[in-house]
Every structure is written in C-alpha cells, then in structure tokens.
Structure 1
Amino acid sequence: MTANEDQEMELEALRSIYEGDECFKEISPVSFQYRIGDLEDSKAFILDVAWPEMYPDTAPQISLDAFFNNRISAETKQLILSKLEEQVEANLGTAMMYTLFEWAKENQEALMENHKPVVTATLTSSSEVTTTASTAKKKERREQLTKAQKRRLITRTDNKGEMPRGWNWVDVIKLGKTGGKDGDQA
C-alpha cells in the first residue's frame, strides 16, 4: 500500500470514530486538532497534528501552538511533546492518530502533573485605572427627560409626517397580565 492509500484509510477511520466528538476537529484531510480534557479544565490542551507526504512511514508533525494552549508553560509543552514523540517512534509505519489521541487522554494527568497555569497580566498605571473607572461611571449615568420632553418624543413624526414604526405596538407582557381567567378562553 502507498502512503496516500494508508492516509485515506486512516482518514476514513478517524472520521467514523470521532463523528460527533466535539474534541476532534479536521482542519484539512492531512491536519487535525484534538482537545485533551474538558474546556473548563485548566489541565486541558489541544494537539495539532499534521501528516507529512510520506506519513505513516514518517512521523506526523505534532504541535501545541494553538491559542488554547497559551496558559501552559513552555516546560510542560516540551514534556508533552517529548512523551508523544516516544509514542510516535513506537508506532512508526502504522496508522497512529487514534493511538496518539487515546494515549494522551489516558495519560493527561501524568503529562500535566507539574502544570502551573501561566498568567499573563499587563501592569497599568494608577492614572489609567482611575481614568477607566471615571469613564465607566460617566457612561452609567443617563440623561433624565422631563414629562414634557417625553410627550414631544411620543408625538414626533418623521420627515413624511408619519409616526415612527412601532408607536402603536402593544406590550405583550402587559396583555398577558391583564387577560381574563383561564376558563373564559374558548
């Protein structure tokens, strides 16, 4: 079998195995993403895997460069990649995507045991903080209209002399509250 035939068979198998699985994403016929762990889990990560032309005889390209993985330290990423490379070497020459994904799921705790989430925070000066706080307060305050101003708004017409769209609409919630008894409806 040629490399292309092996790839087509493995692609078909992956599509059937992971059909409806929200963790698996096919980027292209030779590029995939698989999320290990739940979205809310701080130890979750996404594997990006791409097949070179001669895959499975040559190793797939595995990466942890997805934005989702920004909270993972470089040391932890390197550990995950080195452990996955060991699995690739053991399975070289065979269809290994399912094996890699399942191995990563089973060993997620061991791979992420030294994981400490990376926190990226930007320092701002105290003047910037007070400026944003004061503009937030200004936005919260809305101008109050007098009764006379509200009446003028209600009777305002557009340039054709027509009332604005919806001026005579009825509030459905108020109708529901003022409706008759349940027995009256027939």
Structure 2
Amino acid sequence: MAANEDQEMELEALRSIYEGDDCFKELGPTSFQYRVGENGDPKAFLIEMSWPETYPDGPPTISMNAFFNNQISPAVKQSILNKFKEQVDANLGTAMTYTLFEFAKDNKEELMENHQPISSGIAVGNDTTVETSSVTATSKIRDKKEQLTKAQKRKLADKIDHKGELPRGWNWVDVIKLAKTGSNEDE
C-alpha cells in the first residue's frame, strides 16, 4: 500500500517538474517517455520507463524499443541500458524516475559516444528492454517497402481519395463553361 502512495506522490512531482516540457510524455499513470536531445539531433534518444507494482522498492522497466530509436545500434542501446541499470541499483528504494531522466540528459554525450547512425537501405528494428532482473537485446530486419517518387504520389492523390475511390464528380462536365462556349458558337 505504501508503494502506491509513493508512486502517487512521485507522479504528482513529475507532472509539476515537467509541465510544459515537450521532451516528457506521460503514457499512463505508471508509464513515461523522455526524449534526450532535440528532434533532428543524431544523438537524441527516447527512454521509456514503467513502474511495476513493487516500485520504488523494485526496479522500473526501462526500454529503448521506441521507433524514435531505430537509428541507434543494438550495442549502443544495450550500453545505455546497462548504465541505467547501474543507476537503478544505486537508487533502489527511492523515487528515481526524475533522477534517471536527469542522468540521461546530463550524460547524453557519454551514453551516445559509440553511436554511428544506421543509414542503410534496410530499416532495422531493435527490441531492447531492461526488466527487473535481466537485460535483453534482439534485432530484426524488416522488409523494405517500395518507395514512390513525388510525381507518382501526386498522381495517385489526384486520382483517389483516402478510401481509394475516385472523388465525386471527377468526370462531370463543367455546364457553365459548356454553356458559354455553346452560346459563342451560336452568334
């Protein structure tokens, strides 16, 4: 019961601290995201954290599975998560969400020092999560989707609507224009 009261107090503190901060996102009452770095920064990354029932006496689940992190190699993600695990172990028993987010902000360069952006033609998905007692990392290669040129996309957009149907009236005749040209011919 005391853990729930601690969680409620920490939740209120997080809301007041990060009010108006675009980097912080509350996904639920026990689940949060924090973006370290600005959008467009090649060394920016997104941390997801969720609290189990036993939090803060038990460690939070920390994840880097967000699509935002797809440009980060699995080895760098694992390195970041290992450093977070050290911080979690040092802060166990206390409210640590703010501490962990601030640790990430303060140590962004160190955490991302071995980062080389993934820039191949294949999209790489990485599932990396730190759970209560284990650290896991797996990677998957997804099929590359066929890319359309801008001209091809425009042509498609001109022909069909969001339902994939031709817009109403696409083949209607302009009666006014026809009437004007018809009356000019009569004169």
TM range (shorter): 0.5 to 0.7
The number of equivalent residue pairs is 140
2: CA distance between counterparts of 1:93 and 1:16?
22
Q: Give 4+ residue runs of structure 1 displaced > 2 Å after superposition.
A: 152-157
- The residue identity in structure 2 corresponding to 1:49 is M
Secondary structure at the counterpart of residue 71 of structure 1: coil
Where structure 1 has 5 or more consecutive residues not aligned to the other structure, the ranges are 123-127, 140-151, 158-186
1:118 positional shift: 1.0
CA-based RMSD of the aligned residues comes to 2.9
What percentage of residue pairs aligned between the two structures are identical? 62
Matches within 5 A, 1:48-63: 48-63=48-63
2: CA distance between counterparts of 1:79 and 1:13?
29
- 1:38 paired to 2:60: no
1: CA distance between counterparts of 2:5 and 2:120?
45
Length-normalised TM-score, structure 2: 0.68
Q: Relative CO higher for 1 or 2, CA cutoff 8 Å, sep ≥ 6?
A: 2
Length-normalised TM-score, structure 1: 0.68
1:156 positional shift: 4.1
1:119-171 deviation line (CA, Å, top 9, x unaligned): 2415xxxxx99xx77x85xx5xxxxxxxxxxxx764347xxxxxxxxxxxxxx
Q: In the alignment, which residue of structure 1 is the partner of 2:91?
A: 91
Name the structure with the higher helix share.
1
Q: In the alignment, which residue of structure 2 is the partner of 1:107?
A: 107
Name the structure with the higher strand share.
2
1: CA distance between counterparts of 2:28 and 2:121?
34
Q: In the alignment, which residue of structure 2 is the partner of 1:164?
A: none
Bigger Cα Rg? 1
Where structure 2 has 5 or more consecutive residues not aligned to the other structure, the ranges are 123-145, 156-173, 180-187
- 1:155 paired to 2:142: no
Matches within 5 A, 1:9-20: 9-20=9-20
